[in-house]
Amino acid sequence: MVKKKILFVCTGNSCRSVMAEGLLQDLLNKRGHNDVQVLSAGTNTFNGMPPSAETVAVMKENSIDIARHVGQQLTTLLIERADLIFCMEEFHMKQILDAVPEAKPKVFLLNAFENPTARHREIPDPIGRSAKVYQVCRDVILEAVTRVADWIEKHQGE
């Protein structure tokens, strides 16, 4: 079976995209989906970067262990192989589309996906901020990836 590939993109691949990857994978596991591969990458990072300590801590609050996550730099190959790409900010989308313009139909802002009334389309970077900011970021991402999981279930087999 060919798995759908979902890619989350942020800047450093140590906070937001890592949270999104862990949260969506957890949701899909709980819903019995093993037909989706969930990945994350950063537009400005280096391969092997670990998640921030704050990210590990707030994900543990949701009983999700992402401590062994290994960060990776976004590549053209990752973009080309992904079925759907979710970005945290507009400039991540721009970087992807500058590199691979034909990816446009599969690139979305995570917080705006299936959320036409979103007051905030972007998810701000929590790096260097308080634990509370990380918790709010995680909760916003959880709402967004729940919409992604719902969309996957609705379009299963397409």
119 part of the active site: no
CB of 9 closer than 8 Å to CB of 88:
yes
Query: Residue 39 corresponds to which tokens in the numbers above?
Result: 């990945």
81 part of the active site: no
Catalytic one among 31, 83, 125, 139? 125
CB of 113 closer than 8 Å to CB of 148:
yes
Catalytic one among 16, 26, 87, 137? 16
Could you tell me the sign of the dihedral formed by the alpha carbons of 52, 127, 19, 5, in that order? Answer: negative
125 part of the active site: yes
> How far apart are the C-alpha atoms of 30 and 79, rounded to whole Å?
27
Find the length of the chain.
158
Reduced 3-state DSSP string for 91-150? HHHHHHHHHCHHHHHHEEEHHHCCCCCCCCCCCCCCCCCCHHHHHHHHHHHHHHHHHHHH
Catalytic (active-site) positions: 10, 16, 125
